[in-house]
Amino acid sequence: MLRYFTAGESHGKAIVAILEGLPAGLKISRPLINDELKKRQIGYGRGDRMKIEADTVSILSGLRNNETIGSPMTLLIKNKDSRIDELPRIHSPRPGHADLAGAMKYGRRDMRDILERSSARETAARVAVGAVSKQFLSRFGIDIFSHVTMLGGIDAHTSGLEPGEIKKKASESLLRCADEAAEKLMREEIDNASSEGDSLGGVFEVIIIGHPAGLGSHAQWDRKIDARLSMSIMSIQAVKGVEIGAGFGVAKRRGSKVHDVISYKEGRFKRPTNNAGGIEGGITNGEPIILRGAMKPIATLRRPLESVDIITKETTKAAVERADVCAVPSCAVIAENVCAIEIANAFLEKFGSDSISEIKKNYQNYIKTLGKF
């Protein structure tokens, strides 16, 4: 079983993750981890912090000659801007942020103590863990990628595109959008919001392909793969909703228009549609897994909303911190990596052992069994 913890503050010395449960014998590429960290940082509408930090990972434990040895892996990402002790106190909470709720929960009169950890800077550690998980999954032909489907009310149109084409087009776009015409309008909307001191949210989609049927379980609530993937996306800062497959659209249709017809062709079960999003009963059914997340606009506004000073209780403007105008493309990258962690975990539960060679044998035997089902 994979498990991980993250630590660190936005302007502290570093962001750290400890990952436990990787099998021995997995080759790890540090440059590939850095590539994912870079993807998280780029995107039209990102703030000045991205010009300061150039995230790279240091691996402090768990490897020998770039190969896992079965012990916990420690991943460290240093912060260049590490002035946490010098930064001003904050008494005016930002609407939509964790500032006030966190200060009340932990009894802190300076909300700097809350925002330093609740900041999305923490997700750099999760992306690093996800990048390791992706390298594990790639050994078994499993691929995970994302794209932006809506930003600021502007929809991208990708119906009819194959997953590989979506991946290619999105990777070439600063907004991770596979629709060039929509991307142009999205950029204009970001520029307009920026000029007005405002922020924008949107919707992203994560697509998972190459996995087998049978990951997850119907037997217990906490083993359902759809529940675990949903939680991983909902745990990302500023995400307020998750859909799988046809999502909320299924509530408007009759069952005959929702459920995917099953056929058997070319030695396997197939479905001509994928309204279930690749998951039925908490178990992967072999079709592509399709998940979408809705990200709210960033809570920090350059033209701040009305708030209250928690010390004086007087009306004031909310605090203004360095922030993005739009971070939906970044959120999409984070989402594909946290999903990678959950898929890797489910894969290890199904085929797990202490070494890559044993896992490979278990997986190959299972695939042979499916071929005879």
**In this predicted model, what pLDDT tens digit does every residue of 324-366 receive, in sequence order?**
999 999 999 999 999 999 999 999 999 988 999 999 999 999 9
- DSSP-assigned beta bridge partners for residue 73: 19
Distances (CA, A) of 230 to 84, 111, 174, 216, 320: 33, 29, 25, 13, 31
Report whether pLDDT(52) > 70.
no
Fold of 3-371: Chorismate synthase, AroC fold (3.60.150)
Distance CA 132, CA 236 (A): 18
pLDDT of residue 323: 81
* Segment (H or E) for 106: helix 99-106
The residue with tokens 């060039």 is 180
pLDDT of residue 266: 85
- Residue 170 and residue 76 in contact, taking contact as beta carbons nearer than 8 Å: no
What are the structure tokens assigned to 320, written together? 């203004």
Is the alpha carbon torsion for 271, 275, 281, 287 positive or negative?
Answer: positive
Distance CA 144, CA 156 (A): 20
Q: Where are the domains of the chain?
A: 3-371
- Residue 16 and residue 107 in contact, taking contact as beta carbons nearer than 8 Å: no
Distance CA 69, CA 292 (A): 35
Report whether pLDDT(51) > 70.
no
- Residue 105 and residue 93 in contact, taking contact as beta carbons nearer than 8 Å: no
Range in 49-63, 245-259, 267-281 with the lowest mean pLDDT: 49-63
Report whether pLDDT(92) > 90.
yes
**In this predicted model, what pLDDT tens digit does every residue of 119-135 receive, in sequence order?**
999 999 999 999 999 99
Query: Which DSSP category does 27 fall into?
Result: B
Distances (CA, A) of 86 to 117, 166, 299, 309: 16, 45, 23, 21
Q: Is 298 left (phi over 0), alpha (psi -120 to 50) or beta?
A: beta
**In this predicted model, what pLDDT tens digit does every residue of 172-222 receive, in sequence order?**
999 999 999 999 999 999 999 999 999 999 999 999 999 999 999 999 999
Query: 183-207 in b/e burial notation, b at 16+ Cβ within 10 A?
Result: bebbbebbeebbeeebbbbbbbbbb
* Amino acid residing at 164: G
The residue with tokens 């990048």 is 131
What are the structure tokens assigned to 352, written together? 């797990």
Distance CA 258, CA 276 (A): 8
- The alpha carbon of residue 102 and the mean position of all alpha carbons in its chain are separated, in whole angstroms, by 23
